[in-house]
């Protein structure tokens, strides 16, 4: 809507995001502790993905042999790339194994998908600064920027279901990465508004590559695509690119009418530091909502492992969002299908008491027992689980698994309200498992010398924060 002067009035949501991004970054100890843990975990996920050749082949420059002045280092590789392509590489490797953290509002998603953009831009800025004789950014700056992308991303997830509108949640990555990296580049509030509104003007990508029967590998690099696009829009913004103040509300051509069906698109509350403290760090490489179901299956494994042929049916209770996302029957065509199928994941847990990324391979999926168990598995909605999932004072992500045998006996109805990586479980073995996961992942992408450099920083936030970003990144070069 235009004001009396004829200028377009800024959509309030855009103004709230820009105000947050341009304010001093959050510095609460609990939030920074959570951000430190998330940054390290996400970096580990990316390094772990380097063991997959299909991931590696997507990480280099567009044109082989390209040399970029002050290029940003891609961890665990020899690549020094421009910040746009580095953001693509970083976020793609971080997301590849579906192992990085999750956050759940009315939309699920992975705010850590933005960390690849922040790494790329902070490293690039640091190298440019150093080339001019100026101070590089510190890792504390990087951690705080990652925290802020989480809050923007999660804020856009709390009240807005992209799944229900047929759109992929990569839109939240594009907006958060665009706004926060624009500020890192030295952008003003007007520049940040330009970056954010152009991110919304891109619209939303179709979700078909996450949903059956068209699930495909694009879901493994969609985050990289969104993060890199966000960086590109940030760079254009600081060069003076136009903003679109009514990008959300404009009649006929705005986002809400054209892409959101006219439904409300809102922030529940102004961004702060709550999202980073309520994310769930995964302890297994599965879609986030299947984490507690897998844990339930693993707990039942000792009782079930010698009675697989005696199983009559498997009953899973879950909440409605899980059912929309990972309740899948029929043929599973590829790894991308399998890691988003709760029946497949539970079957693996019952069969072997653990799950690794290799369990989604064609070779592992050829085990006839897996599909046999899937065929006798039911998934039903539990109203209490659904209510607690959406309740901000609870924020559970519950699943229950019960195995019924042909002789009429059954296991306990194994309920897991909070996944092991949830903040409520960090002292219940969660932090130990996250550390174990980190060690497992970095072995894949780093030398013994590099591992010895990185491992102590997992537990020492102060030491990490004091490092120059480019020095830290140089230590991870492959």
Residues of the chain with CATH 1.10.4100.10: 12-277
pTM over 0.85: yes
The second-level CATH assignment, the architecture, of 12-277 is Orthogonal Bundle (1.10)
pLDDT tens-place string over residues 440-457: 999 999 999 999 999 999
Give the torsion sign (CA, 346, 351, 355, 358).
negative
Task: Say if residue 195's pLDDT is above 60.
Answer: yes
pLDDT tens-place string over residues 348-393: 999 999 999 999 999 999 999 999 999 999 999 999 999 999 887 8
The second-level CATH assignment, the architecture, of 288-419 is 2-Layer Sandwich (3.30)
Q: How far is C-alpha 5 from the geometric centre of its chain's CA atoms?
A: 42
Task: Say if residue 2's pLDDT is above 70.
Answer: no
- Secondary structure class of 169 (helix, strand, coil): coil
Please, which residues have CB within 8 angstroms of residue 392's CB and are 6 or more apart in sequence?
A: 158, 268
pLDDT tens-place string over residues 261-314: 999 999 999 999 999 999 999 999 999 999 999 999 999 999 999 999 999 999
Residues of the chain with CATH 3.30.1330.120: 288-419
Which segments within 281-440 are labelled E, that is strand? Answer: 311-318, 377-381, 399-405, 414-416
Q: What are phi and psi of 102, to 5 degrees?
A: -130, 155
């Amino acid at each position: 809507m235009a004001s009396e002067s004829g200028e377009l009035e800024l959509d309030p949501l855009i103004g709230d995001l820009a105000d947050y991004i341009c304010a001093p970054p959050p510095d609460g100890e609990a939030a920074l502790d959570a951000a430190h843990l998330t940054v390290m975990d996400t970096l580990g996920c990316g390094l772990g993905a380097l063991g997959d050749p299909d991931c590696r082949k997507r990480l280099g420059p567009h044109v082989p042999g390209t040399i970029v002045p002050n290029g940003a280092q891609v961890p665990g590789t020899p690549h020094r790339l421009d910040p746009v392509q580095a953001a693509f590489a970083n976020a793609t490797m971080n997301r590849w194994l579906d192992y990085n953290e999750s956050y759940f509002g009315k939309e699920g998603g992975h705010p850590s998908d933005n960390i690849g953009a922040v790494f790329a831009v902070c490293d690039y800025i640091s190298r440019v600064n150093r080339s001019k004789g100026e101070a590089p950014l510190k890792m504390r700056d990087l951690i705080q920027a990652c925290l802020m992308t989480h809050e923007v991303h999660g804020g856009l997830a709390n009240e807005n279901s992209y799944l229900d509108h047929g759109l992929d949640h990569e839109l939240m990555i594009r907006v958060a990465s665009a706004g926060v990296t624009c500020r890192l580049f030295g952008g003003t509030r007007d520049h940040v508004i330009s970056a954010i509104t152009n991110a919304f003007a891109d619209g939303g990508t179709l979700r078909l590559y996450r949903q059956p029967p068209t699930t495909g590998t694009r879901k493994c690099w969609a985050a990289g695509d969104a993060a890199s696009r966000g960086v590109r829009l940030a760079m254009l913004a600081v060069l003076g690119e136009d903003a679109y103040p009514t990008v959300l509300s404009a009649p006929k051509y705005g986002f809400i009418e054209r892409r959101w069906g006219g439904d409300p698109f809102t922030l529940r509350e102004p961004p702060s530091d709550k999202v980073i403290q309520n994310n769930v760090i995964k302890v297994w490489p599965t879609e986030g909502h299947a984490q507690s179901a897998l844990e339930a299956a693993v707990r039942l494994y000792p009782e079930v492992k010698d009675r697989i042929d005696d199983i009559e049916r498997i009953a899973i209770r879950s909440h409605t969002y899980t059912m929309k996302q990972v309740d899948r029957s029929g043929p599973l065509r590829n790894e991308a299908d399998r890691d988003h199928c709760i029946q497949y994941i539970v079957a693996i847990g019952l069969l072997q008491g653990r799950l690794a990324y290799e369990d989604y391979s064609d070779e592992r999926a050829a085990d006839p027992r897996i599909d046999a168990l899937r065929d006798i598995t039911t998934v039903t909605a539990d109203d209490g689980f659904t209510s607690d999932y959406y309740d901000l004072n609870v924020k559970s992500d519950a699943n229950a698994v019960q195995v019924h045998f042909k002789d009429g006996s059954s296991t306990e109805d194994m309920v897991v309200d909070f996944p092991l990586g949830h903040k409520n479980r960090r002292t219940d073995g969660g932090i130990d498992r996250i550390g174990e996961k980190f060690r497992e992942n970095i072995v894949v992408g780093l030398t013994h010398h590099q591992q010895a450099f990185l491992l102590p920083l997992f537990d020492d936030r102060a030491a990490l924060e004091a490092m120059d970003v480019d020095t830290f990144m140089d230590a991870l070069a492959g």
